[in-house]
Amino acid sequence: MLKDVSFGQYYPVRSFVHSLDPRLKILFLIGYIVAIFLAQELLALGICAAVLLFAILLARIPLGKVLRAVKGVLFLVLFTAAVNIFFHGGDKVYWDGPALLWEWKIFRVTQAGIMLSVFLVLRLFLLVIGSSLLTYTTTPVSLTDGIESLLTPLKWVRFPVHELALIMSIALRFIPILMDETERIMNAQKARGASLDSGGPAKRVKAIVPVLIPLLLSAFRRADELGDAMDARCYSGGKNRTKYKKLRFSWRDLLAFALLAALIAGIVVMYIFPVFPL
């Protein structure tokens, strides 16, 4: 059951995308999200999808693995699609045939409704897959390094950037450890006859207590130990600390940046001069 949590796990292969500067990848993702929201027609979204597919292939991550990231939001996506198909209405026609395809009480399926839900589903998929591509290709450590570096300007207004990055990296570091721990404790309780994945909601909530309490205790214990270990090494915050890995831009980053710029420029042009408006 824990093995289904594939969203956001680093996928260790060597590729062009993996070797990009994390700061650039974060900016790329932000730019990409902006582009997706600027895209107002299917053609524009199609271009975004093509760029994403290209990036996935470059990153050498199996398509199946990437698509699995969508599983977590599948319900949301289907819900959105259903609402739009049955309630959107509108009388625009996109292909030969009546605008209104089917009607029953308050439900109306129209050509416009179908087009809109296709559009929204595609948009959500692109958002989720695009974001997961960032975490698939960037280790948690370089991700926090990137975020810290990007947030550096905020230090001028005394925002605790370093501390925030430290909290993030500790949290990220402990996710796999706590997942292991959860699995171990679940196994121990299953061996004592706990049924953790059957029964109604009330029963399941009750069944979670024997896992949650030992897990919390162990998390607190680990936090204590980590604090002691940091104290023992005289750790004292961000001032004058140097980095083990310096972030540097390279020609690859320039290349990726050019691609993003072209994408955004294209989408903006299509935003102003729509080709096949929805």
Q: Among 35, 115, 185, 256, which residue interacts with another protein (rule: CB under 8 A)?
A: 185
Could you tell me if residue 174 is left (phi over 0), alpha (psi between -120 and 50 degrees) or otherwise beta? Answer: alpha
Q: Which amino acid is at 16?
A: F
Q: Does 193 bind another protein (CB under 8 A)?
A: yes
Burial 113-136 (b: 16+ CB within 10 A, else e): bbbbbbbbebbbbbbbbbbbbbbb
CA-to-CA separations, 37 to 41, 50, 83, in angstroms, rounded: 10, 16, 20
C-alpha distances out from residue 4 to 12, 136, 164, 182, 184, Å: 18, 15, 29, 14, 16
User: Least Å distance between CB 59 and another protein?
Assistant: 13
How far apart are the C-alpha atoms of 176 and 178, rounded to whole Å? 5
> Site for another protein (CB under 8 A): which residue of 58, 194, 219, 278?
194
Q: Is 188 in the site for another protein (CB under 8 A)?
A: yes
The region of 121-129, 141-149, 190-198, 234-242 touching another protein under the rule CB under 8 A is: 190-198
Q: Which residue among 8, 31, 160, 210 contacts another protein (CB under 8 A)? A: 210
How far is 233 from 243, CA to CA, in rounded Å?
16
Q: Which span sits near another protein by CB under 8 A: 100-108, 125-133, 135-143, 192-200?
A: 192-200
- The nearest distance, CB 213 to another protein, in angstroms, is 4
Query: Binding of another protein at residue 200 (CB under 8 A)?
Result: no
The Cα 220–Cα 217 span in angstroms is 5
Say whether residue 209 binds another protein (CB under 8 A): yes
In the bound state with another protein, the residue whose beta carbon lies nearer, of 43 and 196, is: 196
Cα–Cα distance between 254 and 125 in angstroms, integer?
27
* One of 12, 153, 200, 201 touching another protein (CB under 8 A): 12
> Minimal distance in Å, beta carbon 211 to another protein?
8
Would you say 193 or 201 has its CB closer to another protein? 193
- The site that binds another protein (CB under 8 A) totals a number of residues, namely 22
* Main-chain phi, psi angles of 40, to 5 degrees: -110, 0
Query: Which of 84, 138, 144, 189 forms a contact with another protein (CB under 8 A)?
Result: 189
- Contact segment (CB under 8 A) with another protein among 29-37, 46-54, 204-212, 267-275 equals 204-212
Helix (H/G/I), strand (E/B), else coil: 109: strand
Strand segments, DSSP code E, in the chain are 100-104, 107-110
Instruction: Give 135 or 189: the residue with its C-beta nearer to another protein.
Output: 189
Sites of contact with another protein (CB under 8 A) = 3, 11-13, 184-185, 187-195, 209-211, 213-214, 217-218
